[in-house]
């Protein structure tokens, strides 16, 4: 059984990012995938302070917050799905905090060969996702992760994603890709 960890960076638990994640989860083969969903806004994630503690000893972050819980879930996953609304051409602050705290993975290589997928909800549409997409591509490359794909929706108000036929079709194709990748 493969494990998929959904990391939701939206502060709104019923927003469009959550809708994308929920739609994908519902279409995954439950005999093949075990899924876990974490709302980052439920956790205290302190900013990286460049103390470089993660470059010594056990190659783990030394800050005291909720990240050890998230690190454990990340380490156990085969696939990481990063879902975030786009705020000013980038991910939410909480999602960016998470990414900044990936610094230990650069040294300990625990993300090497894990598969990454991106789900973006952008009020102005896909044209506002390019900088975030490039940031993740570079992060995945630096951490030696495998970038699978991304999907974005033009969605601002709650439930707007249901009006985006391309996003709904994209979720179906993504689920099909994942379900067939294991068989």
CATH number, residue 60:
3.40.50.360
CA–CA distance, 152 with 121 (Å, rounded to integer): 6
pLDDT at residue 31, rounded to an integer: 87
Q: How many domains does the chain have?
A: 1
Domain that holds residue 131: 2-182
* pTM for this model (two decimals): 0.94
Nearest Cα neighbor of 142 from 90, 170, 102 is: 102
pLDDT at residue 89, rounded to an integer: 85
pLDDT at residue 183, rounded to an integer: 53
- Under 8 Å between Cβ of 91 and 130: no
Q: Which two tokens stand for residue 94?
A: 């909480």
CA–CA distance, 100 with 14 (Å, rounded to integer): 26
Q: Residues 6 or more apart from 10 whose CB is under 8 A from it? A: 16, 17, 18, 39, 41, 83, 84, 85, 92, 121
**DSSP codes joined into one string, the chain:** -EEEEEEE--S-TTSHHHHHHHHHHHHS-TTTEEEEEEEGGGS--PPP----GGGSTT------SSHHHHHHHHHH-SEEEEEEE-BTTB--HHHHHHHHTTHHHHHH-TTTT-EEEEEEEETT-GGG-HHHHHHHHHHHHHTTPEEEEEEEEE--STTGGGG-HHHHHHHHHHHHHHHHHH-
The burial of 32, by beta-carbon neighbours within 10 Å (0-12 exposed, 13-18 middle, 19 or more buried), is given as: middle
Across the 183 residues of the chain, what is the mean pLDDT of every consecutive 10-residue run?
A: 96 94 94 94 96 88 94 97 93 96 93 96 85 95 96 88 91 93 68
């Amino acid at each position: 059984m493969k494990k998929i960890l959904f990391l939701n960076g939206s502060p709104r638990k019923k927003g469009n990012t959550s809708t994308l994640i929920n739609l994908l989860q519902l279409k995954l083969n439950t005999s093949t995938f075990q899924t876990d969903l974490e709302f980052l806004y439920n956790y205290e994630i302190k900013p990286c302070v460049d103390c470089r503690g993660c470059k010594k000893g056990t190659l783990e972050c030394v800050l005291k917050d909720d990240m050890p819980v998230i690190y454990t879930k990340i380490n156990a996953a085969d696939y990481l799905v990063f879902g975030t609304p786009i705020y000013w051409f980038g991910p939410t602050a909480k999602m960016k905090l998470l990414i900044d705290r990936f610094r230990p993975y650069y040294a300990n290589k625990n993300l090497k060969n894990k598969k990454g997928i991106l789900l973006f909800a952008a009020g102005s549409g896909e044209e506002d996702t390019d900088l975030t997409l490039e940031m993740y591509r570079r992060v995945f490359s630096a951490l030696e992760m495998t970038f699978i794909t991304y999907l974005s929706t033009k969605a601002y108000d709650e439930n707007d994603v249901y009006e985006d036929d391309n996003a709904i079709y994209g979720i179906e194709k993504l689920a099909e890709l994942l379900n067939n990748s294991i068989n």
